Amino acid sequence: MDRIAITGGARLNGSIPISGAKNSAIKLMAASLLTDEPLRLTNMPRLADTRFLGKLLTRLGVSVTESDGPDGQQTILHAPEITSGFAPYDLVRQMRASFNVLGPLVARSGQAKVSLPGGCTIGARPVDLHLQALEALGAKIDLHEGYVYAQAPRGLKGAEITFPFVSVGATEHAMLAAVLADGTTVIHNAACEPELVDLQECLNAMGAKVQGAGTPTVTITGVPRLKGASHAVIPDRIEMGTYAVAAAMAGGEVRLTNARPGLIDALLEKLKEAGAGVEETADGCIIRRNGERLNAVDIETAPFPGFATDLQAQFMALMTTANGESRIRETIFENRFMHAPELMRLGADISVSGGEARVRGVAQLEGAEVMATDLRASVSLVIAGLVARGETTVSRIYHLDRGFERLEEKLGACGAQVRRIVGDGEPEL
């Protein structure tokens, strides 16, 4: 498998364009199952996860065409008919979010058989809330041999859905299913992430009647059918935050373009508190650090608009060389400190107890061979490698390829010494 090698010590200066949001794009792709007309998505990232979902959608009857259009990278998805309602384990296991094809399949064709997505290295993340929402909408759900059998031969019906706790995936799934249901659906205790607003805007462009996304209450008035549409994917706030942290880590001045700083206010405030310079621009922001050592600051992950769990690993990497001790509390996922032992291989001083990590900043990290354990952990090791003395080699970067488009190219354009070693390292397990 490929590896990434980073030679530390180079400051970053230049511009980095932010790609479309992975976490939004994959749910928008699933929306193509809801109509027999083409759905055109622009500002589309080219990632392993979007390719995985593209393969699954193709199996279900969707034609998936990628190209460079007048608005940049685009994907056109067209499902004139659903040719199969079966999503097998070998495809669903590659990406949990592909489970979200279940609701659209049932909404449009009345039945589906979709594999349960299996475990996850950063926590259990069960799908009970997804299934409870579909049952509330009138689907009959049976579980057998690792598969979900869902049926609603007379169509889904509007319902009141109250989630016991906030779940982004379950909220998105309920929205995707309810747009074709007969009657009105109200989702209570809905997640408020920006990707939900993006999904609402796309569905409404397709003729749906959704309102309230981005608030705890979402109301969907079902319609008989949806039409084709064109929609631009929201910029990726996690990629934006990742490169903001990388710039603060390495020093220099980096302009992030095609970005929305308001989506990562919680992170930017912490960067300012640590001593980095943050300046908002018309199309993004500029991150500066003049070489002075950053100060340690504490963070606690929380649902949007709080500090994103998907930026926790990156911020931990930043704190490994900060002046003082920082406390990092993870409240969203268990097992999400798996990157800590790998950062310690680079010389970081980290202790973990339950959902809290204490990071005592050191003067210098040292390059070493490290291994990615999940998507965000992999990029935290790259960030640490930017300042580690000598060379850092990150293996199992198939995790990184799931969510970061042209990372070596984007960092390299700003002066980082980053290269991909093709076809070397450990095989994927």
Element (H, E) at 415: none
Q: How confident is the model at residue 378 (pLDDT cuts 50, 70, 90)?
A: confident
Element (H, E) at 168: helix 168-178
Residue 237 contacts residue 308 (beta carbons within 8 Å) = yes
Query: Can you say whether residue 228 is alpha, beta or left, with left for phi > 0 and alpha for psi between -120 and 50 degrees?
Result: beta
Mean pLDDT of 30-35: 98
Feature table: binding site for UDP-N-acetyl-alpha-D-glucosamine:
96, 125-129, 310, 332
Is the confidence at residue 428, as pLDDT, over 70?
no
- Give the closest residue to 103 by CA, choosing from 63, 151, 71: 151
Predicted local distance difference test score (pLDDT) of residue 294: 98
- Give the closest residue to 136 by CA, choosing from 116, 157, 150, 153: 157
Mean pLDDT of 245-258: 98
Mean pLDDT of 394-414: 93
Mean pLDDT of 335-363: 95
In angstroms, the CA 289 to CA 137 distance is 52
The bridge status of strand 349-353 relative to strand 299-300 is unpaired
CATH numbers and ranges of domains, the chain = 3-15+235-421 (3.65.10.10), 83-225 (3.65.10.10)
Is the confidence at residue 124, as pLDDT, over 70?
no
Is the confidence at residue 425, as pLDDT, over 70?
no
Predicted local distance difference test score (pLDDT) of residue 96: 82
pLDDT-wise least confident of 5-9, 123-127, 192-196, 224-228: 123-127
Feature table: binding site:
22-23, 96, 125-129, 310, 332
Mean pLDDT of 409-423: 96
Other beta carbons within 10 Å of 44: 27
Predicted local distance difference test score (pLDDT) of residue 423: 82
Is the confidence at residue 344, as pLDDT, over 70?
yes
Average pLDDT, the chain: 94
Structure tokens at 218: 């979402």
Other beta carbons within 10 Å of 80: 12
Predicted local distance difference test score (pLDDT) of residue 304: 94
User: Is the preceding peptide bond at 305 cis, omega within 30 degrees of 0?
Assistant: yes
Feature table: binding site for phosphoenolpyruvate:
22-23
Predicted local distance difference test score (pLDDT) of residue 200: 98
In angstroms, the CA 331 to CA 306 distance is 11
Is the confidence at residue 161, as pLDDT, over 50?
yes
Predicted local distance difference test score (pLDDT) of residue 317: 98
Is the confidence at residue 427, as pLDDT, over 50?
no
Percent with pLDDT over 90 in the chain = 87
In angstroms, the CA 9 to CA 388 distance is 7
Q: How confident is the model at residue 17 (pLDDT cuts 50, 70, 90)?
A: very high
pTM for the full predicted model: 0.94
Query: pLDDT per residue over 307-338, tens digit each?
Result: 999 999 999 999 999 999 999 999 988 778 99
Query: pLDDT per residue over 174-220, tens digit each?
Result: 999 999 999 999 999 999 999 999 999 999 999 999 999 999 999 99
Is the confidence at residue 37, as pLDDT, over 90?
yes
Quote the distance between the C-alpha of residue 47 and its chain's center.
Answer: 11
Is the confidence at residue 125, as pLDDT, over 60?
no
In angstroms, the CA 285 to CA 268 distance is 10
Per-residue burial over 224-256, b if 16 or more Cβ lie within 10 Å, else e, is: eebebbbbbbbbbbbbbbbbbbbbbbbbbbbbb
Residue 188: strand, helix, or coil:
strand
Q: How confident is the model at residue 355 (pLDDT cuts 50, 70, 90)?
A: very high
Predicted local distance difference test score (pLDDT) of residue 333: 80
pLDDT-wise least confident of 71-75, 126-130, 374-378: 374-378
Predicted local distance difference test score (pLDDT) of residue 70: 86
Predicted local distance difference test score (pLDDT) of residue 93: 85
Residues that are catalytic: 120
Predicted local distance difference test score (pLDDT) of residue 376: 72
Is the confidence at residue 3, as pLDDT, over 80?
yes
Predicted local distance difference test score (pLDDT) of residue 95: 84
Predicted local distance difference test score (pLDDT) of residue 118: 61
